[in-house]
Structures are given as C-alpha cells and as structure tokens.
Amino acid sequence: MDFDQRGFAKIHDFSMDFDTMRARLRSLAQDHPSGVIIPIIESDLKNQVLTGIVNELNECDYLKKVFIALSAQSQESFKEAVRVFGALEVPHNIIWCNNPHVVSVLEELKNKGLDVTALRGKGKDVWIAMGIASLELHAFAIHDADILNYTRMLPTKMLYPVVEPRLDFFFSKGYYARINLEKRKMYGRITRLFMNPILEAMQEKLQHKSRFVSYLQSFSYLLSGEIAIYSDLAMRLRIPCDWGFEVGLLSELYRNASHERICEVDLGFYDHKHKEVIEDGLVKTAEDSLVTLLRTLTEMDGIEVSQPFLQSLQVMYRKMAQDKIRQYHADATCNNLNYDRHQEECSVDSLSEAIIAAGKKYLMDPSKTQMPDWLRTKAAMPDIRERLREAAVEN
C-alpha cells in the first residue's frame, strides 16, 4: 500500500468505514439520488454468487434503485431473474434489454434514421439501462454480476466520491489487485499481458508522445468494469456495444470530461469467475479493446492503420509483453504465488495474433460497434427513454 497520486486522484482505502459513508450518502439521497446498474446474462442467473450480492446490496439502504440489465432469450429466464432478485429489499427493476417490446421501440428509432438494431453485447444492455436510470438518478454505479468477494463497500466506495458535493468528482473508476489468495494465483491477464504492453508499444511506435495513450496509462487498472458516473455525463458518451466497453468509455471521457474530476478508488482484492485466454474468449476481449483503441487514436492522433503498421506493432508488443512476464514472474516468486511462466508466454502468443485480427476488423468498419450518445438518440426520438422504460421494465 502506498500514498501514490498520479494522473488522477487516487482514493486509497486506509480506513474507510461503511457506516459513516452510508450515513452520509443517505443524508444526500433526496437531492442526489444514486443507484446501481448490474448487467447480467442468462448463465449468470445460475451463479450462487448472486445471493451474496443481493444480501450485501440490502445493507445499502441509501440507494434509490437498483437496475438489473438482463439479456435473456425467454420469458422463463426473465421470471428466473425476478425470482433471484426477489430477495433484494432495495427498490429495483429488472430491465429485459432484448425483449420483443424493446426491439419494437428500437425499430422505431431505426425508422427515424438512427439504427442500433444490429448491435449486440454488454455495452448495448448498459446503454439501455443508463438511459432508463438517468430518468431517476443523479448518479449510478455499474458493476458485473459475477464478483465472488462482493461486499456492501463496493458500490459505496464507487458512489461516495461522485455523490459527495465536497469532492466535485463526476466519475470514479475502481482499481484492485487481481489475486486469488486461496489458489495463490495472479489473474488480470488481459490488462497485464495485453493492454499494458500494447500501450507501451503504441507510445514507442508513434512519432510523438500521445497524450491519449498517456491518459490511458495513468489508470491503475485500465479494464476494471466497476465505475460510478453522473447521469448527465453518461448521456454524452458514445460507448461500444462489445467487449471494448471499458476502453471505449474512457475514450469518451477523454473527449468530454475534465480530468481533474476523475478519480480512482481502491477496491482491495478482487475476484470473479475466471476465463481461459483462448477457450473462453478473452482473446475476443483483447480484439474488441484494440479496435476501440485504434479508432480513438485515429480520431485523436491521426494515425494511419495499415497492414505494415499492425505487423510492426505486433513485433513491438511481443517484446514489451515478454518484458512484463519477467517482471510478473519476479513478483510472483517473491510472494510465493503459483505462476506458470510457460502458460503466460503461450497467452502472449495468442494475444499477439489478436493485433492482426483487430486491425482487420477495424479496417473493415471502424465505427460499427459504437452506440450513439443519448443526447443524439433523444434528438431522434425525444421520448425514447420513457418508451424503453415502459417496454423493458416488466412487472
């Protein structure tokens, strides 16, 4: 633990107290109502960890509402979500993001010249939920539904610096150690083995020092999905619908927000369900994140993405990633962690191929995965948030 302050204000957890923070948030609730958005897919409904999340959220009585952004293919799955969250005592809505009524509303939006009907993914579900939540909330936190060591402090830590008027932040982002102490294992592979070295390679490859790349490098955990944000600010952001959501959100903040009003919050140790790099699609997360990075660097720095550019980036990435592996190996050895250096090297081999794949995807259509911001959407259909709330929130 340290006192380090870098590009953004870092709020460390030296002695945070839930009861103190809860009391303050409760006193602010009338003028600054806050809530939580939890994107969830059908398979998550079978995860026993949801019981713990519901129990911990029940202690957060300062929340005005919790929105469950559900992606489900059947009425049975919706009913299961209602059952699972039936024990949630905080007011809440199950937002069925892809039910036929929502599809119908989005078809109307398409007829008005703004087509999002072909887009799919977590980002789209969060986009729908943000639009609906902004009708009621001053600020909201967003986090996933598979957090194994979830506590009441997670939403509280995220929301407190955003809701507290004395601090004047309008965006907070969680950072943490991705270590499972029981298994003595280090996770966070896409951040450790892909995003961090690819940003170093990109910075070295560009002819000038990119302020945007430096901005991304300032975050302690770039791909953390735990954030809190002002509703008004959320309405101005374009976000990817795919697994590039986190990088896309930070890219939009770079364009739309004063960096002095961004903070990072220490969430301690963090553990959720773990995926394999190849078998479970972590390479897809790397690809989508890089597509978003390439798009933003084209906008911000005027880079020209070509096959030779991607090939040289791939070579530089491998060198940077292999340097990181040596560093992580040393860290793991001194901390008596189980570190499979060969597996890490194999992961880098797979992730390096994602650079070429992401480049091809970007060159085919640079902007096809991006949701429009809500200001643009409301200009096309002024009552769309209300229409979506009526269509998505089933009783």
The CA R_g of the chain, rounded to the nearest whole Å, is 21
What's the whole-number mean pLDDT along residues 20-47? 95
- Measured between alpha carbons, how far is 161 from 263 in angstroms, rounded to an integer? 8
148 inside domain = yes
Residue 14, token pair as written in the block? 């030296």
Global confidence as pTM: 0.93
Q: Is 116 exposed, middle or buried (0-12, 13-18, 19+ CB in 10 A)?
A: middle
2 inside domain = no
Residue 290 is which amino acid?
Answer: L
Per-residue pLDDT reduced to its tens digit, 294-325? 988 998 888 889 999 999 999 999 999 999 99
Residue 193: pLDDT above 70?
yes
Rounded to the nearest 10 degrees, how much is the dihedral formed by the CA atoms of 323, 326, 327, 329? 150
Residue 207: pLDDT above 80?
no
Residue 68: pLDDT above 60?
yes
Helices (H), the chain: 18-28, 49-57, 75-84, 100-111, 122-133, 153-163, 189-190, 196-205, 211-217, 231-234, 245-256, 282-301, 307-334, 341-364, 374-380, 384-392
Residue 371 CA from chain centroid, whole number:
15
31 inside domain = yes
What's the whole-number mean pLDDT along residues 151-178? 95
Per-residue pLDDT reduced to its tens digit, 335-363? 999 999 999 999 999 999 999 999 998 88
Looking up residue 59, the CATH number of its domain turns out to be 3.90.550.10
1 inside domain = no
Please, are residues 195 and 355 in contact by the beta-carbon 8 Å criterion?
no
Please, are residues 194 and 320 in contact by the beta-carbon 8 Å criterion?
no
Domain residues for the domain of 207 are: 9-392
Rounded to the nearest 10 degrees, how much is the dihedral formed by the CA atoms of 97, 102, 108, 110? 30
- If you average pLDDT over every residue of the chain, what do you get? 91
Query: What pLDDT is recorded for position 299?
Result: 86
What's the whole-number mean pLDDT along residues 107-120? 93
With a pLDDT cut of 90, the percent of the chain lying above it is: 73
Query: What pLDDT is recorded for position 6?
Result: 75
Parallel, antiparallel, or unpaired: how do β-strands 179-180 and 171-177 relate? unpaired
Residue 220, token pair as written in the block? 């302690």
Residue 278: pLDDT above 50?
no
Residue 176: pLDDT above 90?
no
Of 47-56, 206-215, 279-288, the range with the highest mean pLDDT is 47-56
> What domain count does the chain have?
1
Q: Measuring CA to CA, how many Å separate 4 from each of 71, 139, 184, 218, 264?
A: 39, 27, 26, 12, 12
**First vs last C-alpha separation in the chain:** 46
What's the whole-number mean pLDDT along residues 74-85? 93
91 inside domain = yes
Query: What pLDDT is recorded for position 1?
Result: 55
223 inside domain = yes
Q: Which residue has the tokens 């083995």?
A: 193
Q: Furthest-apart CA pair in the chain: how many Å?
A: 60
- Measured between alpha carbons, how far is 19 from 1 in angstroms, rounded to an integer? 23
Give the pLDDT band of residue 77 (cuts 50, 70, 90).
very high
Residue 2: pLDDT above 80?
no
Query: What pLDDT is recorded for position 279?
Result: 46
- Measured between alpha carbons, how far is 135 from 133 in angstroms, rounded to an integer? 5
Query: What pLDDT is recorded for position 83?
Result: 94
282 inside domain = yes
- Measured between alpha carbons, how far is 311 from 307 in angstroms, rounded to an integer? 6
Which residues does 330 contact at the CB level (< 8 Å), separation at least 6? none
Residue 285, token pair as written in the block? 């997360």
288 inside domain = yes
User: For residue 66, is it left (φ>0), alpha (ψ between -120 and 50) or beta?
Assistant: beta
Give the pLDDT band of residue 388 (cuts 50, 70, 90).
very high
